[in-house]
């Protein structure tokens, strides 16, 4: 167990933006909420999964819905608390601890807020090791665990308890309820035991995010290139550097789809990168050659500030560094790729790990 204060929260938030792979929403507002919660309730206990008893009842807390709405209509903070309370009552069990469903983006922060408000610890684990846009895209789901019973709640305590035959059904219903609640809702989801969490979670992911965020911070203080420091910690690769020359964005079937074109600079002159976006950055090509593809993480970093940018934040003219980070090995299994690979998102390329694609590049 260790305590998370303001500095730790800031580092986690920064690292989570990178792990969001462009999605999951900007954690900035979540970070401010978490810092405020720490100031009000004191530091938050962070547990490793080993500190959670096998039979403990643990529940993820999250924001559900469009991250863009979350920015316009930030949570009052009571949403997830309401959701947790209803789920506790329904299941007749007391929650031992909460944890993030995704350590990428805003949802890395909300469990900290919930934990502070409910006086619970947070477990250093998530179900993605990154951000993904669907309830079923979790390591828990890969192991046969279900998101339900789950509860959605708004700030008024309008609550909806969803219990379905499988998680894709829950995703569908939760999505439509959330639209009625204004586009974003608090959520208590993936109730499970401590044993489930140990076996099926992606471990130490908040610490991983924190280390990434800290590396960026220290590099900036030492006036060295934050991107290289971050890549060392994240075991990632620089894919490209250049200037954004085209951003095509549209909302299609409830997805933020788009494509970004980047013209090479600093050693990439004469080359062009194309990014394909479906909420997250899903596929990156340089001169039509694949350099990184989902479920590996593709993140765009502002070259001037060293801060990762969400897909909504990418603008014409920005100088950026695009990096690729190997996803958690759970996503690279046949079952994992089935729901997170290029095929699932409609891209006609075979999945190849980013480190292999990079090897090929070195040989060129």
The helix (run of H) or strand (run of E) holding residue 59 is strand 57-65
Task: Check binding of 176 to its own copies (CB under 8 A).
Answer: yes
The set of residues, in sequence order, having a beta carbon less than 8 Å from that of 72 and lying 6+ positions away, is: none
Among the listed residues 28, 32, 74, 169, the single contact to its own copies using CB under 8 A: 169
Minimal CA–CA distance to 296: which of 322, 270, 328? 328
Task: Check binding of 179 to its own copies (CB under 8 A).
Answer: yes
Q: How many residues bind its own copies (CB under 8 A)?
A: 21
- Give the shortest CB-170-to-its own copies separation in angstroms: 8
How far separated are the first and last CA of the chain, in Å rounded?
Answer: 47
Torsions phi, psi for 210 (to 5 deg): -65, -40
Q: Would you state the structure tokens that stand for residue 52, as one six-digit string? A: 């959670």
The helix (run of H) or strand (run of E) holding residue 118 is helix 110-118
Task: Check binding of 185 to its own copies (CB under 8 A).
Answer: no
Taking the least distance from each CB to its own copies, the nearer of 158 and 271 is: 158
Question: Do the strands 289-293 and 319-325 form a parallel or antiparallel pair, or are they unpaired?
Answer: unpaired
Task: Check binding of 294 to its own copies (CB under 8 A).
Answer: no
Taking the least distance from each CB to its own copies, the nearer of 26 and 79 is: 79
Taking the least distance from each CB to its own copies, the nearer of 86 and 314 is: 86
Rounded distance, CA 331 to CA 102, Å? 14
Task: Check binding of 156 to its own copies (CB under 8 A).
Answer: yes
Q: Would you state the structure tokens that stand for residue 20, as one six-digit string? A: 């969001």
Whether residue 36 has a cis bond before it, omega within 30° of 0: no
Task: Check binding of 200 to its own copies (CB under 8 A).
Answer: no
Judged by CB under 8 A, the stretch of 31-39, 154-162, 258-266, 324-332 that binds its own copies is 154-162
Taking the least distance from each CB to its own copies, the nearer of 56 and 83 is: 83
- Give the shortest CB-24-to-its own copies separation in angstroms: 24
Taking the least distance from each CB to its own copies, the nearer of 156 and 305 is: 156
Judged by CB under 8 A, the stretch of 7-15, 162-170, 189-197, 240-248 that binds its own copies is 162-170
Taking the least distance from each CB to its own copies, the nearer of 66 and 318 is: 66
Task: Check binding of 157 to its own copies (CB under 8 A).
Answer: yes
Among the listed residues 180, 235, 269, 333, the single contact to its own copies using CB under 8 A: 180
Rounded distance, CA 306 to CA 308, Å? 7
Spell out a b/e string for 240-267, using b for 16 or more CB atoms within 10 Å of the CB, else e: bbbebeebeeeeeeeebbbebbbbbeee
Minimal CA–CA distance to 168: which of 137, 140, 193? 137
Task: Check binding of 44 to its own copies (CB under 8 A).
Answer: no
Task: Check binding of 253 to its own copies (CB under 8 A).
Answer: no
The owner of tokens 């499988």 is 166
Taking the least distance from each CB to its own copies, the nearer of 28 and 175 is: 175
Taking the least distance from each CB to its own copies, the nearer of 177 and 290 is: 177
Collapsed DSSP state (helix, strand, coil) of residue 283: strand
The set of residues, in sequence order, having a beta carbon less than 8 Å from that of 63 and lying 6+ positions away, is: 25, 30, 70, 75, 79, 80, 106, 107, 110, 184, 185, 186, 187
Taking the least distance from each CB to its own copies, the nearer of 71 and 179 is: 179
Among the listed residues 45, 60, 146, 160, the single contact to its own copies using CB under 8 A: 160
Taking the least distance from each CB to its own copies, the nearer of 177 and 282 is: 177
Among the listed residues 71, 134, 173, 358, the single contact to its own copies using CB under 8 A: 173
Task: Check binding of 183 to its own copies (CB under 8 A).
Answer: no
CB 256 within 8 A of CB 311: yes
Task: Check binding of 90 to its own copies (CB under 8 A).
Answer: yes
Task: Check binding of 158 to its own copies (CB under 8 A).
Answer: yes
CB 216 within 8 A of CB 306: yes
Among the listed residues 177, 206, 215, 262, the single contact to its own copies using CB under 8 A: 177
CB 35 within 8 A of CB 9: yes
Binding residues for its own copies, rule: CB under 8 A, are 86, 90, 156-165, 169, 172-173, 175-177, 179-181
């Amino acid at each position: 167990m260790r305590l998370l204060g303001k500095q730790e929260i800031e580092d986690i938030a920064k690292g989570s933006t990178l792990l969001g792979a462009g999605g999951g929403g900007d954690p900035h507002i979540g970070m401010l909420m978490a810092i405020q919660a720490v100031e009000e309730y004191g530091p938050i206990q962070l547990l490793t999964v080993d500190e959670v008893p096998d039979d403990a009842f643990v529940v993820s807390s999250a924001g559900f819905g469009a991250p863009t709405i979350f920015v316009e209509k930030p949570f009052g903070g009571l949403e997830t608390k309401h959701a947790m309370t209803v789920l506790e009552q329904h299941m007749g069990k007391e929650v031992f601890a909460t944890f993030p469903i995704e350590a990428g983006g805003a949802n890395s922060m909300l469990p900290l807020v919930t934990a502070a408000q409910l006086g619970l610890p947070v477990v250093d684990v998530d179900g993605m090791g990154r951000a993904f846009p669907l309830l079923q895209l979790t390591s828990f789901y890969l192991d046969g665990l279900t998101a339900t019973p789950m509860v959605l709640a708004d700030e008024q305590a309008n609550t909806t308890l969803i219990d379905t035959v499988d998680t894709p059904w829950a995703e569908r219903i939760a999505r439509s309820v959330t639209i009625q609640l204004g586009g974003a809702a608090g959520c208590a989801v993936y109730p499970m035991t401590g044993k489930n969490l140990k076996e099926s979670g992606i471990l130490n992911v908040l610490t991983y995010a924190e280390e990434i965020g800290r590396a960026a911070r220290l590099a900036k203080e030492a006036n060295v290139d934050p991107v290289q420091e971050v890549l060392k910690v994240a075991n990632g690769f620089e894919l490209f550097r250049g200037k954004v020359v085209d951003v095509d964005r549209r909302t299609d079937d409830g997805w933020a789809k788009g494509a970004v074109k980047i013209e090479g600079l600093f050693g990439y002159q004469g080359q062009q990168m194309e990014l394909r976006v479906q909420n997250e950055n899903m596929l990156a090509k340089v001169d039509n050659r694949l350099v990184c593809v989902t479920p590996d993480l593709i993140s765009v970093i502002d070259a001037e500030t060293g801060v990762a940018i969400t897909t909504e934040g990418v603008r014409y003219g920005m100088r950026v560094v695009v990096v690729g980070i190997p996803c958690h090995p759970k996503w690279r299994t046949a079952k994992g790729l089935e729901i997170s690979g290029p095929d699932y998102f409609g891209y006609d390329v075979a999945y190849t790990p980013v480190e292999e694609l990079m090897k090929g590049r070195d040989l060129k």
